[in-house]
Amino acid sequence: MSNIVWEARFSFDEVQSYREGKVIAEGSKKITGAIAISIIWLIGAISDRLWFIFDRSVPAWDPAYYLTGSLIYRRAFEDPQWFSGQWWDYIWNLSAKIPPLVYILTIPFQNIWDPSPDTANLVHLLFSAILLGSVYGIGCQLFNRQVALWAAGLCLLLPALYLYRFEYLLDYPVTASVAFCFFLLTMWRKCEQPRYQWLWAIAVGISVGLAFLVKQTTALFLFVPLLWVTVGTLKRRDWGRFFQMAIAGLLSVLVFGPWLSNTWLLMITSVQRATIYAARAEGDPPLTDPEAWTYYLSLLPDHVSWPLLLVPIVGFLLYLIRWRSLPPDTPKSSFAWLGVFLIGGYLLCSLNPNKDFRYNFALLPMLSIVLAWGLTLWPKWWGVRVRWGTLALAVLLMILTLWPVGGVPGQQFRSLLSPGNTRHAEIGVNWPHPEIISTILAAEPYLQNTIGVLPSTENINQHNIDYYGAIKDFQVYGRQVGIAYDEVSQDAGSLCWFITKTGDQGSVDRIKEAQALMVTAIAQGPQFPVYRNWLLPDGSTLNLHRCTPSPVEVSPRADISEVVNLEAVIVPESTPPGTPIPITYIWSGPPQQLESGLVLLTWTGSDDDNNTQWFHDRAIGSGRLELPEDTATGFEVVERMAMLPPPDATPGNYTLQATYLSRETGETYAIASPPITLTIDPNAAPSPAPELDLITQLQQLALKLPQGIQGLEVIFNEIRRINQYDPVQDYTKQAQKTLAYRLNQEPDNLNLAYSLALASVLEQDVNGAIAALETVTKLDPNNPFAHGYLAFVHLYNFNARAAEIALKPALELSPEQPEFLVLRGVSALLQGRFMQAKQDLQALSLINN
């Protein structure tokens, strides 16, 4: 009996020791794997940072655009108000088309080091760690540790991925985010314990939500795997797992929902422009063309390189020839799961009409696992040499791709084996972008300026000029103008600084005629002399032009008053009605009030029989003042602009009344005005005048709102143009506050109500737009479009019931208007009335035609 007990005890101890040893071994493997992945990450980090140390290039179009976005968020988070819903709405609205997560993650790097392309790109080290860890985890789950390590190593050596690690774009973060989500989904799928299944499901939901906040295109890669596992749970009637996926979906919506709810409309319109319109403009093959479905397949050698593509395939074929089957330790389910991801993602990427070299990058990490598996299938006696030889060749190709070495033979060798693009570090070159910004700041230190950038080359374009201006506290902006032939004169009359260059003008083919006319207007116009020029590394000359005289001039003055004063007004003695007239205002006062206040300028008929009046309200200096706060000095501001008397202004004499309006408090005080008289005379000769200020232009556009759809097309085409002149769109804020004040004084003024509604919509102020449009519907009840506008804004705010109520008068007045039917259909859809929605949404075909 004792022997039996002893043997049983020995067997139990043996099993327990085996289990403990297995746990220790597994833990040791995990630690070793983490160390190996850390070493791979460190090698990649050192390689990348070495490249940035020597490179002197400037960011091209898209990277510069995203870099500017990162600085916008950096400034927004300087004074975070974590528990303020209004602040969070402001954060979500900062980037209506681009989700903000990458921008937000870049903030710590740019706070620790000075903002620059190099420091912003440090965020890619974070995404590299996520990518390598995820690929290693998936490789271990689906294959083995050897495959996982080789797959992680290949992620550093795939040309597509290392080329775009140096570009501040969203494609590399998307790749890492998708890999992380797929890793968590794989862990949930493989997990057998319900308690841990819940933890993995929660992690999946949060990670998918965060991935959407990196970029919406993550859906192209995650949709099919998520659908696959969800349908699989339904087929197996595994209600526990189905409920876990449902909770994961809810969590993902909770994560990205706040951003989406604020930006859904602009995102939809931007997606349409970025897919259908962009595909047409770039000549991408239509979906009926087989090339549309083989496009990304043809890019495999560029994305992967021939050695990393062919050597694993040969290894797989050799194994099949020798053993005539898959390796015994390779589960078929692993290939099936990878196939779901790769095939599903490929088909959805191909379904996107707009094709691009980088739009399918998120497929490459999973492809690297397949390639790594192929590398491990080479026969043992020479497989080690093949693998390490392939690795060495891939490293050599990476060096030739990233560094200007090897001469012509080396580059020919690289292009033969790795036919994709190069990204040679630019060593010893100097581009003048920081000097351009410094020159403008030295000339006009107290003004915010917008530069009209006429060329659009990889190195000189509106986006990288804008970025270097953003580095200098957003005091200088860059915008591309001269893109429409009939807008050239308006563009030339609305900005003071312009950039032209000799030689190649870049990617301006679609606007070539307009751009040539614009260059001629600036380069040969006497009012735009060259202020300074630079010789560029490509041998061309860059010219910086400045207008004379400047529309706004600011100078310090020794005396300082406690309030704003209107020192002088210069205007022609007489002018005909309805014609822009030149006018000069000279202001003085303390810097804070000059910069942040608004002025309400009322021109009123001074004759007994003349009660006509018009307004010229706005911020001083058109909102462009950048005055120091910590100074005891006052400032003088000279404004040269145009004013528009109404076409129905009664002939006679008009005098000016000025009122100061605080943006922050809404308080007002009267501004002493010099005696000035303007005579409206239909027989007077019009005077040459500059472009109208942007608020006046907005009010003129608002007069077209009663026309409905036809008027909207004109309005938003013009808004696109004038938004270029005020990159922060401060003019809409000025308009909203001044118009609200005026409408409160004149509640029956329909033009003011329409103008306030337009300003509120442009500000994405839903509540303000609803209030203004409710006033419009009361003052213009017989106009169906007034009710339609109100219904649309309610729908934008996801208030379907209020939209339906607002829409009833519109349908009564114009029952066949297709836009109204579509609005009613959307409202019915949001309320769950699907039959009504189906019937009404058929009107979409009428709109599209």
Domain extents for the chain? Answer: 19-375, 433-543, 552-689, 695-848
Q: Supply angle C-alpha 567, 572, 575, rounded to 5.
A: 135
Report the CATH architecture of 552-689. Answer: Single Sheet (2.20)
- Using the predicted structure, report yes or no on whether residue 16 has a pLDDT greater than 50: no
Neighbours of 101 (CB within 10 A): 23
The arithmetic mean of pLDDT across residues 708-730, rounded, is: 94
Per-residue model confidence (pLDDT) at position 74: 97
Per-residue model confidence (pLDDT) at position 115: 95
Which residue in 673, 674, 678, 672 sits closest to 655, CA to CA? 678
> Do residues 101 and 70 make contact, with C-beta atoms less than 8 angstroms apart?
no
Tokens of 390: 């392939």
Strand partners, 660: 599, 669
Burial class of residue 526 in the structure, from the number of CB atoms within 10 Å of its CB (0-12 exposed, 13-18 middle, 19+ buried): exposed
Of 43 and 331, more confident? 43
Q: Say if 552-689 and 695-848 have the same CATH topology.
A: no
- Using the predicted structure, report yes or no on whether residue 4 has a pLDDT greater than 90: no
Q: Report the SS3 class of residue 113.
A: coil
CATH number among 1.25.40.10, 1.10.10.10, 3.40.250.10, 1.20.120.1770, domain 695-848: 1.25.40.10
- List Cβ neighbours of 542 (8 Å cut-off, separation of 6 or more): 432, 436, 460, 499, 500, 501, 533, 534, 536
> Do residues 163 and 423 make contact, with C-beta atoms less than 8 angstroms apart?
yes
> Do residues 284 and 355 make contact, with C-beta atoms less than 8 angstroms apart?
yes
The arithmetic mean of pLDDT across residues 744-751, rounded, is: 96
- Using the predicted structure, report yes or no on whether residue 27 has a pLDDT greater than 70: no
In degrees and rounded to multiples of 5, residue 634 shows phi and psi of -90, 175
Per-residue model confidence (pLDDT) at position 267: 66
pLDDT category, 271, cuts 50, 70, 90?
A: low
pTM of the model: 0.91
Alpha-carbon span 556 to 553, nearest angstrom:
10
Q: Report the SS3 class of residue 531.
A: strand
- Extended strands (E) in 425-580: 449-453, 476-480, 497-501, 530-535, 541-546, 552-557, 565-570, 574-575
In degrees and rounded to multiples of 5, residue 624 shows phi and psi of -100, 0
pLDDT category, 274, cuts 50, 70, 90?
A: low
The arithmetic mean of pLDDT across residues 731-758, rounded, is: 97
Per-residue model confidence (pLDDT) at position 261: 83
Residue type at 144 in one-letter notation? N
Question: Cα-Cα-Cα-Cα dihedral of 209, 215, 219, 220, to 10°?
Answer: -160
Q: Report the SS3 class of residue 14.
A: helix
- List Cβ neighbours of 481 (8 Å cut-off, separation of 6 or more): 452, 453, 454, 487, 491, 495, 518, 724
- List Cβ neighbours of 246 (8 Å cut-off, separation of 6 or more): none
Alpha-carbon span 64 to 67, nearest angstrom:
5
> Do residues 804 and 824 make contact, with C-beta atoms less than 8 angstroms apart?
yes
SS3 sequence of 264-301? HHHHHHHHHHHHHHHHHHHCCCCCCCHHHHHHHHHCHH
The arithmetic mean of pLDDT across residues 627-634, rounded, is: 86
- Using the predicted structure, report yes or no on whether residue 527 has a pLDDT greater than 90: yes
Distant-in-sequence contacts of 392-397, Cβ < 8 A, 24+ apart: 393/307, 393/417, 394/154, 394/157, 394/305, 394/307, 394/308, 395/157, 397/159, 397/305, 397/307
pLDDT category, 85, cuts 50, 70, 90?
A: confident
Tokens of 466: 């804008």
Alpha-carbon span 773 to 757, nearest angstrom:
6
Question: Cα-Cα-Cα-Cα dihedral of 307, 309, 312, 315, to 10°?
Answer: -80
Of 287 and 486, more confident? 486
- Using the predicted structure, report yes or no on whether residue 1 has a pLDDT greater than 60: no
Per-residue model confidence (pLDDT) at position 21: 45
- Using the predicted structure, report yes or no on whether residue 522 has a pLDDT greater than 70: yes
Residue pLDDT, tens place only, 291-319: 989 999 999 999 999 999 999 999 999 88
Alpha-carbon span 297 to 29, nearest angstrom:
36
Which residue in 116, 112, 126, 128 sits closest to 63, CA to CA? 116
- Using the predicted structure, report yes or no on whether residue 19 has a pLDDT greater than 50: no
Per-residue model confidence (pLDDT) at position 18: 36
Alpha-carbon span 201 to 731, nearest angstrom:
47
Q: Tokens 């289990």 identify what position?
A: 19
Burial class of residue 558 in the structure, from the number of CB atoms within 10 Å of its CB (0-12 exposed, 13-18 middle, 19+ buried): exposed
Distances (CA, A) of 847 to 709, 804, 814, 817, 818: 11, 20, 15, 10, 7
Residue pLDDT, tens place only, 821-845: 999 999 999 898 999 989 988 887 7
pLDDT category, 583, cuts 50, 70, 90?
A: very high
pLDDT category, 485, cuts 50, 70, 90?
A: very high
Per-residue model confidence (pLDDT) at position 353: 86
Per-residue model confidence (pLDDT) at position 326: 62
Per-residue model confidence (pLDDT) at position 23: 44
Q: Which helix (H) or strand (E) holds 200?
A: helix 194-214
What percent of the chain is predicted at pLDDT more than 90?
79
- Using the predicted structure, report yes or no on whether residue 249 has a pLDDT greater than 80: yes
**DSSP characters over 313-346:** HHHHHHHHHHHSS--TT--HHHHHHHHHHHHHHH
Per-residue model confidence (pLDDT) at position 630: 78
Alpha-carbon span 820 to 806, nearest angstrom:
11
Residue pLDDT, tens place only, 138-150: 999 999 999 999 9
Alpha-carbon span 596 to 261, nearest angstrom:
31
Per-residue model confidence (pLDDT) at position 9: 39
The arithmetic mean of pLDDT across residues 685-702, rounded, is: 96
pLDDT category, 173, cuts 50, 70, 90?
A: very high
Sign of the four-CA dihedral 546, 552, 556, 558: positive
Distances (CA, A) of 177 to 44, 181, 258: 18, 6, 19
Tokens of 760: 């509120």
Tokens of 450: 């917008």
Least confident of 3-12, 505-514, 808-817: 3-12
**DSSP characters over 414-468:** HHHH--S-------S----HHHHHHHHHHH-TTB-EEEEE--B-SSSSHHHHHHH
Per-residue model confidence (pLDDT) at position 106: 98
Alpha-carbon span 649 to 576, nearest angstrom:
9
Residue pLDDT, tens place only, 330-366: 677 898 999 999 999 999 999 988 888 999 999 999 9
Per-residue model confidence (pLDDT) at position 401: 97
> Do residues 119 and 109 make contact, with C-beta atoms less than 8 angstroms apart?
yes
The arithmetic mean of pLDDT across residues 629-635, rounded, is: 85
Q: Say whether the peptide bond before residue 706 is cis (omega within 30 degrees of 0).
A: no
Alpha-carbon span 548 to 332, nearest angstrom:
74
Q: Tokens 């528009």 identify what position?
A: 644
Per-residue model confidence (pLDDT) at position 545: 98
